[in-house]
Amino acid sequence: MSRFSRSISWLENLLFFWCGLTLILLIGGESLAVPAWLQVAGRLHPLILHFPIVLLIMAVVLLWLGEDQWEKMGRIILLIGANFAGITVVAGLILATEDYEGEALSWHKWLGVLSLGFSVLIYFFIKKLQNSLRLIGSLLAIMLLLTGHFGANLTHGEDFLLAPLLTKEVKTVALEDAEVFRDLVQPIFETKCISCHKEGKIKGELRMDHLEGIQKGGKSGPFILAGNPDQSLLIQRIHLPLENEEHMPPKNKLQLTDDELDILRFWVASGASFEQKVLELSQEEPLFQLASNRFSTEKAYTFEAADSDQIEKLNNFFRKVKPVFPGSPALEVAYFGSSTFDPNALSDLKKVKDQVVKINLNRMPLEEVDLSFLSDFQNLEEIQLNFTGITSAHLKGLSKIKSLRSLAVSGNPLGESGMEELKNLTQVKRLYLWQSGLSADAKNGLKKSLPNTQIDFGFDDQGIIYPLNPPKIDFEEVMFKEKAEVKLSHPIRTVEIRYTLDGSEPDSIRSPVYSQPIALTKTAQIRAKAFAQGWIGSEESKTLLFKEGLKPLSYKLANEPHNRYKAKGATSLFDGVKGKANHTSGDWLGFTDSPMEIEIFLENNQKPKSVELSLLLHEGAYIFPPESVEIWTGSAGKWSKVEIPAPIPPTKIEEVRFGLLAYSLPEGSIDQLRVRLKPIASLPKWHPGAGAKGWVFVDEIVLY
Amino acid sequence: MEKELLEQGLNHNRRKFLSRLSLGIGSVALGSLLIPDLFSGKKEAEDSLMRALPHFAPKAKRIIYLFQNGAPSQLETFDYKPLLRTNFGQELPDSIRMGQRLTGMTAGQSSFPLVGSYFDFNQYGQSRAWISSLFPHIASVVDDLCIVKSMHTEAINHDPALTFFQTGAQVGNRPSMGAWLSYGLGSENENLPAFCVLLSRGKGNGQGVYSKLWSNGFLDAKHQGVQFSNSEDPVLYLSDPNGMTRDQRRKMLDQLAAMNDLNYREFNDPQITTKVQQYEMAFRMQTAVPEITDVTKEPDSVVKLYGPDCLVPGTYAANCLLARKLSENGVRFVQLYHQGWDAHDNLPNQMIGQAKDVDQASAALITDLKQRGLLDETLVIWGGEFGRTNYCQGKIAPENYGRDHHPRAFSIFMAGGGVKSGMVYGETDDFGYNITENPVHVHDFQATVMHLMGIDHEKLTYKHLGRRYRLTDVHGHVVKDLIA
């Protein structure tokens, strides 16, 4: 006997050994006490099972070829494969005593055993089967594949193979359709209970695969007591500790999650109804809370999605067309940037008319645009048309959109005729009508015509009266050469701005109304206030604008300004550059210990008529008007004092601002001028720094 | 044998090779069907991320976050604790304080006398929520609010607490909430940044805001918050210099883009493309921003709604109005900060001023969004970085007292955007010191906000320095009770 034939006969013997072992295990499997080491052997099953599948199928193919040479080789491979099949079956039977049961298991088990039997039969009776070898071989191959399939179902779950094809069928339940029992409770039963409590496998005499079974209960009687979860067997069992024999689902099965435990408990507590809808529950009920988290509030759309290239083409910087979320066929459209709005491009949307559920055209200029094409958009649910200038004519046709739920048309002059159109929109659930030019009667009428619609008329400003903000004064420079242009503006369009240039306070009756930019040709103080119907007149805003004066020959300060506020010395006073409203800006000359005294030398023909002193005033920073002002004119060495009134002292602390002291000069030729400003020596009693020295700040001296 | 080898060799001729090659090409073509974008040249990573977001249908599309910087006291706003008035001046029991750490400002204080709100409380709306008399306007929209009285945080000082709220970490190197949303969802309107920041300041004791709060952290720079200022130029460096026409700018950008493209071809650095895109967006912003910041197009009644302050640039009211306009135009996240809530002393006076600044405009924003049908898709959040102590800091009198920082319980509110309306969530003990019911941690709050925007906070991550980061770090649970 060659070594080859010795091995063959040894393998053949082994085959009988496996078959015998299989027989024993099949008969006594239920009562088998598996020691730990054998359990390990059993768990080798998932590894070894691949060998018989490959080897046996290979053998079948070789036998199929029919040529002598191949058949010989096929028989040897069949022998080795059958041995592996034996090992696999034995290991599988041992493994089966662990936590496996169910239909898939028995199919897998018996098909596996059958495959083993077939392979053994083919091996020993190959000569007799010569005629039907191909047929029987194919049968074996099919059995092997089926065994493998059921085995895979056991480990990976049922429908493992076809799951990728089936998932698309899964329907999401919308909250509004959801029923408590059908969509909340029953799915739990189906996944966690029914495998043991159903026709054919009625454990504890309880059937949970049909309604009567659930209502009837099992061996221990009814297991659901409506309204009484603590007494209900169902709730008791699922809350027992895991180790308890009575605990359901049994220890080795998939357990209920916390949410599922809660759902079952609250369902029983709320009366264990079989018909109730989720929306019929009160919002505060915990069951509703649990349910609302489980169901999508999204509507499931049944229409076809648009072509994604098509959608892509509709997008640009000013129009966004996007699915409401990835994967949804529903589209929402939004327009941005009213200045770039192209009304002709609106009709592009017809390409996706069946998919658009929401369109946002807020603030787009639609006065002249025909919106009637929207009535073809049969799935449109929400339209936003706030502040688009549309009128009642634009609303025609919207009543044809049956799915329309929300319409926002705030800020449009719809008027009474618009109301007639709105009355037809009975399908709309929410209507936004702020600032739509509707009278109180019209509003009430509309509410009556649309009892099921939530209408928001928005904020009503009736009876609310606020003071207006002061107007804004715009100009180029504080100091101007020949003339200046002053613009007044206010952010509220309906206001009337009244102003004065003569220093008097503007009022709402006599002062001129601002309509176009004011042209100034001389130094002036502009004071302006805003007035409007339904508002309290504004505080005034005011500003001083200076016309540039004469250029003197030369000038000389008698006293140096304070060390910290020297600007560029006396030149700063005649440079035509107005300082900013801040004494530290470097444009201002500040005096406190000594008066400001300056001598100005003039040409003969200059003959100034007046002198103006531009001051900074800021009581909080101790900056006051001078206590006294002296002006002297000199002609050929002869000085004479000009009679002028003393500056009016302030009476309270105000914001930082510019001040102006203007004085006329006597007629006649002047070649010299002396100006002397004395800072306040002792601040008045009302001031926090009462008694301290005040400051005088000057940035320009202007001669005309 | 040799003959066979020869035949075998002859069989491998060019014709055979080519005909077999066709099979190979066919298999490549077949395989490529499985990877649709293999040859399209798109950037795979970013695209696939964007395709997957939001993770589910969002309830809110946009957020306006009214951050009350400096921490307004919950005890003078939404958390009504009459016991603190009755027990005026009594010591805070140790059983309540439970070893809570103190700030440096009250650590040296020998006693912790309780002090109640100087302001009266009333119940409002159908929700019967308690609101102090400081906030009459907010009280008038109470049925639109979802008030959370059980917020708690980990930090006890302003900067870390603010940073924690905004970025999910107390150290300032992470992206801000707005940056995360910009990264995850992008901008609705490509002519404006996805994340805008508006600052205002009340007269109360203020705490700084720093640009790290709206930083992009390790995310691409385009996700950084863009600060709008109250000057003539709301967005700095946006307007063209005098004398430059729009055509010239266009030409200049085209030339620049061409040069950048050359660079890109050489180095393939995606930062270059980002840069070009940013230039282009700035160009479009030049028309979009003036359109939005122009308040003259608003009807008069809007001014009456927000109060006349809304016409004064830089005020909280003006920022609220601007926030509504930005949000309405598709800006994903508008972040406001109003400074001045840090009332360590003189609290009643400071609160009056601060409340005057924010009460009307905050309520107006909610009303305004609502009357345009936008509140459903816009989430408004109002709140500070922590709460304030129930005991007095410094000198105590019923009408003049101060409160220190308190991280263990404070109140915020949200409105619109898929949160429940007319709801008061969570409860604190009678001392207003500890949470007794439904605590909401800052990370929970962040997870909930992300959830409302359609984002699973555990899935929006960014890999940086070898680790995947997210806004909620490794914490946070969506508070489903708050979601409508």
Encode pLDDT of A198-221 as tens digits: 766 677 788 888 888 888 888 887
Examine the domain organization and report whether B335 and B439 are in the same domain: yes
pLDDT at A420 over 90: no
* DSSP label at residue A385: -
Q: Does B459 touch chain A (CB under 8 A)?
A: no
Structure tokens at A129: 């089967």
Measured in whole angstroms, the distance separating CA A277 from the mean position of its chain's CA atoms is: 30
pLDDT digits (tens, 9 = 90+) for A235-250: 888 888 888 888 888 8
Band of pLDDT at residue A290, cut at 50, 70 and 90: confident
What's the mean pLDDT in A459-464? 88
Which of these, A313, A388, A300, A316, lies nearest to A352 by C-alpha position?
A313
What contacts B420, CB < 8 A, 6 or more positions away? B146, B481, B482, B483, B484
| A318–B372 C-beta distance less than 8 A | no
Structure tokens at A117: 């039997």
Instruction: Identify residue A164 by its one-letter amino acid code.
Output: P
Examine the domain organization and report whether B400 and B287 are in the same domain: yes
What contacts B22, CB < 8 A, 6 or more positions away? none
User: B320 lies in a domain?
Assistant: yes
pLDDT at A438 over 70: yes
Q: Are B84 and B73 in contact (CB under 8 A)?
A: no
Instruction: Compute the distance between CA of residue B177 and CA of residue B214 in angstroms, rounded to an integer.
Output: 8
Residue B433's region, left for phi above 0, alpha for psi from -120 to 50, else beta, is alpha
- Alpha-carbon distance A416 to nearest alpha carbon in chain B (angstroms): 19
String of DSSP letters for A181-210: IIIIIHHHHHHHTTTTEETTEEGGG---SS
How many other C-beta atoms can be found within 10 angstroms of the C-beta atom of residue B156?
Answer: 18
Half-sphere exposure of residue A121, counting CA atoms within 13 Å on the CB side? 14
Instruction: Compute the distance between CA of residue A659 and CA of residue A657 in angstroms, rounded to an integer.
Output: 7
Task: Report the percentage of chain A scoring pLDDT > 70.
Answer: 96
How many other C-beta atoms can be found within 10 angstroms of the C-beta atom of residue A434?
Answer: 25
Band of pLDDT at residue B44, cut at 50, 70 and 90: very low
Residue A363's region, left for phi above 0, alpha for psi from -120 to 50, else beta, is left
List the single residue in B with minimal CA-CA distance to A469.
B308
pLDDT at B47: 46
User: B40 lies in a domain?
Assistant: no
pLDDT at A254 over 90: no
Structure tokens at A84: 């592996």
Instruction: Compute the distance between CA of residue B429 and CA of residue B437 in angstroms, rounded to an integer.
Output: 9
Q: Are A514 and A528 in contact (CB under 8 A)?
A: yes
What SS3 state is found at A126? coil
- Alpha-carbon distance B38 to nearest alpha carbon in chain A (angstroms): 17
pLDDT at A579 over 50: yes
Examine the domain organization and report whether B242 and B338 are in the same domain: yes
pLDDT at B382: 98
Place of tokens 């600060």: B227
Q: Are B67 and B376 in contact (CB under 8 A)?
A: no
Q: Does B288 touch chain A (CB under 8 A)?
A: yes
Q: Which residue has the higher pLDDT, A170 or A152?
A: A152
pLDDT digits (tens, 9 = 90+) for B351-364: 999 999 999 999 99
| A298–B329 C-beta distance less than 8 A | no
* Rg value, chain A, Cα: 49
Examine the domain organization and report whether B173 and B296 are in the same domain: yes
Measured in whole angstroms, the distance separating CA B103 from the mean position of its chain's CA atoms is: 27
Instruction: Compute the distance between CA of residue B363 and CA of residue B141 in angstroms, rounded to an integer.
Output: 6
Q: Are B370 and B417 in contact (CB under 8 A)?
A: no
What SS3 state is found at A319? strand
Q: Are B340 and B73 in contact (CB under 8 A)?
A: no
Band of pLDDT at residue B46, cut at 50, 70 and 90: very low
Of residues B301, B328, B370, nearest to A435 (C-beta): B301
pLDDT at A679: 94
Instruction: Identify residue A147 by its one-letter amino acid code.
Output: T
Examine the domain organization and report whether B398 and B433 are in the same domain: yes
Angle, vertex CA A300, rays to CA A299 and CA A301, nearest 5:
105
What SS3 state is found at A239? helix
Range among A179-193, A497-511, A536-550, B112-126 rated most confident: B112-126
What does each C-alpha distance from B26 to A44, B21, B29, B31, B426 come to in angstroms? 41, 9, 5, 9, 64
Instruction: Compute the distance between CA of residue A100 and CA of residue A106 in angstroms, rounded to an integer.
Output: 10
Q: Which domain holds residue B14?
A: 2-34
E strand residue ranges, B180-332 = 195-201, 226-228
Measured in whole angstroms, the distance separating CA B261 from the mean position of its chain's CA atoms is: 34
| B300–A492 C-beta distance less than 8 A | yes
User: B372 lies in a domain?
Assistant: yes
Instruction: Identify residue B94 by its one-letter amino acid code.
Output: D
Instruction: Compute the distance between CA of residue A607 and CA of residue A325 in angstroms, rounded to an integer.
Output: 81
As beta bridge partners, residue A520 has A484
pLDDT digits (tens, 9 = 90+) for A328-337: 889 999 999 8
How many other C-beta atoms can be found within 10 angstroms of the C-beta atom of residue B240?
Answer: 13
* Summary mean pLDDT of chain B: 90
Instruction: Compute the distance between CA of residue A689 and CA of residue A693 in angstroms, rounded to an integer.
Output: 9
What SS3 state is found at A48? helix
| B54–A326 C-beta distance less than 8 A | yes
Which of these, A530, A561, A524, lies nearest to A658 by C-alpha position?
A524
Instruction: Identify residue A33 by its one-letter amino acid code.
Output: A
pLDDT at A200: 61
Q: Does B293 touch chain A (CB under 8 A)?
A: no
What's the mean pLDDT in A634-638? 84
Examine the domain organization and report whether B22 and B102 are in the same domain: no
Q: Which chain B residues are closer than 8 Å to A285 by Cβ?
A: none
**Residue pairs between chains A and B whose CB atoms are closer than 8 Å:** 116
Examine the domain organization and report whether B6 and B154 are in the same domain: no
* Summary mean pLDDT of chain A: 87
- Alpha-carbon distance A431 to nearest alpha carbon in chain B (angstroms): 8
User: B39 lies in a domain?
Assistant: no
pLDDT at A167: 56
Phi then psi for A276, rounded to 5 degrees? -55, 140
List the single residue in B with minimal CA-CA distance to A467.
B308
Place of tokens 């529903």: A330
Instruction: Compute the distance between CA of residue A329 and CA of residue A306 in angstroms, rounded to an integer.
Output: 7
Q: Which chain B residues are closer than 8 Å to A410 by Cβ?
A: 371-373
What does each C-alpha distance from A192 to A197, A294, B316, B432 come to in angstroms? 10, 17, 56, 45
| B291–A406 C-beta distance less than 8 A | no
- Alpha-carbon distance B296 to nearest alpha carbon in chain A (angstroms): 5
Q: Which chain A residues are closer than 8 Å to B330 by Cβ?
A: 320, 334, 336
Q: Does B230 touch chain A (CB under 8 A)?
A: no
pLDDT at B375: 96
- Alpha-carbon distance B289 to nearest alpha carbon in chain A (angstroms): 10
pLDDT at A98 over 80: no
**In residues, how long is chain B?**
484
User: B412 lies in a domain?
Assistant: yes
Of residues A298, A336, A432, nearest to B330 (C-beta): A336
What contacts B402, CB < 8 A, 6 or more positions away? B343, B344, B345, B346, B347, B392, B393, B394
pLDDT digits (tens, 9 = 90+) for A313-360: 999 989 999 998 888 889 999 999 888 888 888 889 999 999 999 999
What's the mean pLDDT in B31-36? 64
| A459–B301 C-beta distance less than 8 A | yes
Phi then psi for A488, rounded to 5 degrees? -115, 140
Instruction: Compute the distance between CA of residue B411 and CA of residue B151 in angstroms, rounded to an integer.
Output: 6
* Residues A543, A544, A547, A548, Cα dihedral to 10°: -110
| A325–B56 C-beta distance less than 8 A | yes
pLDDT at B51 over 60: no
Examine the domain organization and report whether B391 and B321 are in the same domain: yes
Examine the domain organization and report whether B273 and B235 are in the same domain: yes
pLDDT digits (tens, 9 = 90+) for B374-426: 999 999 999 999 999 999 999 999 999 999 999 999 999 999 999 999 999 99
pLDDT at A299: 64
Measured in whole angstroms, the distance separating CA A288 from the mean position of its chain's CA atoms is: 25
Instruction: Work out how many domains chain B is built from and give that number.
Output: 2
List the single residue in B with minimal CA-CA distance to A431.
B373
Classify strands A696-703 and A589-591 as parallel, antiparallel or unpaired. antiparallel
Examine the domain organization and report whether B303 and B428 are in the same domain: yes
Q: Comparing A33-37, A240-244, A516-520, B454-458, which segment has the lowest mean pLDDT?
A: A33-37
Helix B270-293 to helix B316-328 angle, to the nearest 10 degrees? 120
- Alpha-carbon distance B354 to nearest alpha carbon in chain A (angstroms): 20
Q: Does B330 touch chain A (CB under 8 A)?
A: yes
Q: Does B287 touch chain A (CB under 8 A)?
A: yes
Task: Report the percentage of chain B scoring pLDDT > 90.
Answer: 67
pLDDT at A473: 93
pLDDT at B462 over 70: yes
Phi then psi for B228, rounded to 5 degrees? -95, 130
| B308–A324 C-beta distance less than 8 A | no
pLDDT at B377: 94
Examine the domain organization and report whether B30 and B63 are in the same domain: no
**Which residues in B256-292 are b (16+ Cβ under 10 Å) and which e?**
ebeebeeebeeeeeeebeebbeeeebbbbbbebbebb
pLDDT at B124: 95
pLDDT at A592: 93
Instruction: Provide the terminal-to-terminal Cα distance of chain B, rounded to the nearest Å.
Output: 83
| A384–B300 C-beta distance less than 8 A | no
Of residues A338, A434, A491, nearest to B296 (C-beta): A491
User: B93 lies in a domain?
Assistant: yes
Structure tokens at B385: 């970085």
pLDDT at A156: 78
> Residue ranges of the alpha helices (H) in A354-428?
392-395, 415-423
Examine the domain organization and report whether B65 and B189 are in the same domain: yes
Instruction: Identify residue A204 by its one-letter amino acid code.
Output: G
Q: Are A204 and A219 in contact (CB under 8 A)?
A: yes
User: B392 lies in a domain?
Assistant: yes
Band of pLDDT at residue A169, cut at 50, 70 and 90: very low
Q: Which residue has the higher pLDDT, A578 or A19?
A: A19
Q: Which chain B residues are closer than 8 Å to A467 by Cβ?
A: 308
- Alpha-carbon distance A457 to nearest alpha carbon in chain B (angstroms): 7
Q: Are A595 and A679 in contact (CB under 8 A)?
A: yes
Band of pLDDT at residue A383, cut at 50, 70 and 90: very high
Place of tokens 């390990």: A40
Of residues A296, A325, A469, nearest to B58 (C-beta): A325
Instruction: Compute the distance between CA of residue B374 and CA of residue B71 in angstroms, rounded to an integer.
Output: 28
Q: Does B299 touch chain A (CB under 8 A)?
A: yes
pLDDT at A638: 86
User: B27 lies in a domain?
Assistant: yes
Q: Does B89 touch chain A (CB under 8 A)?
A: no
pLDDT at A100 over 70: yes
Classify strands A479-480 and A541-547 as parallel, antiparallel or unpaired. parallel
